[in-house]
Structure 1
C-alpha cells in the first residue's frame, strides 16, 4: 500500500472540488436573484402594505410651551423577505402636525413622480425629527403654536396610506 503525502497530492489546491467553497468571480456562471424586485413582482400589494409597520413616538406626552418636541419615526418590514412599496414621490415618507406636512402650511416642492420605499427582510428604518412648536406660515415666517393638544403623524408617502395601514399617530399636549 502506497501512501501519498498531502503536500504531494495537491489536495490543498483543489478548492474547486469543494461544492461549498465560494466561487471566484471568473468561475461564476449562475445568476443571482434580485429579491427586492422579485418580491415586488410576485407579492400582492395587500400583503406588501400589511408587512410594513409604521410607528411614531415622542420623548414625552406633555411639553412646556417653547420646548422642542423630539419625534422618532420607525418603519419595519415584518416579513422574512424584502418588500418594496411604491410611493407618490421620491420623498418616501412624511410627517405632519395636525395635518400640516413637516409643520408647514406651504406647498412643498417635491417632484411629482413615483418612487419606491425598499426594505430588506426584517429591516427597520428609523428617523428622528425635532419640532420647535412652530408652524411655517410663509417662506420666511414661522408662528408659534398655542397651548393645547396636537396630533403628530407619520406615513408612507402614498395617497392610500391611511387605507393600507401605513400611518401612525401620537398625541402630545403643550402647556403654558
Structure 2
C-alpha cells in the first residue's frame, strides 16, 4: 500500500504545478515488478506535464523536483531492481550492457548487498557495503576474470546524502 500527499492548490494542480509531494508505503510493487519493502519520498515544488499524465498515464517532469528518498530492499526486491527493464537498458558508454542475474542478496546485519552478472561474455560477482562508524560505501568486484580479489571504491555516507537530497 502506498500513500501520496500532494501539497498544492487546485488551480496550481490544474496547471501542472505542485508545492510538494510525499510518497510513503510498504510492500510496494509496480506494474513491471519493481518491488520494495519500504519507500519514503519527499520532494518540493515541481511541474509535471499534466496533458501527458491524463493522456498517457505517464508522469513527465517539466521542472525537476528536488528532495530526498529512502528505499528498503530485501533480497527479492534487490533482484527485481537489478533486472528491471530500465536497469537492463543501461549501457556502459557505447559498450554492450552489463546483464545482471536476479540472484542478488541483501544482508542487513553485515550492511552488504551482493550481485552478479556478465559483461562482454565474462562473469562478475560484486558487492555494495556500508562500513565503519561513518558509513563509508564500498563498491567492489569479488570475483572477475582479471581480478579474483576484492577491489573497492568508497564514498562517505554524508557525500551520498548531499547528492541524493540536492
| TM-score bracket for the superposition, by shorter chain length | under 0.3
User: Greater share of helix residues, 1 or 2?
Assistant: 2
| TM-score (norm: length of structure 2) | 0.23
More strand by share: 2
Q: Which has the larger radius of gyration?
A: 1
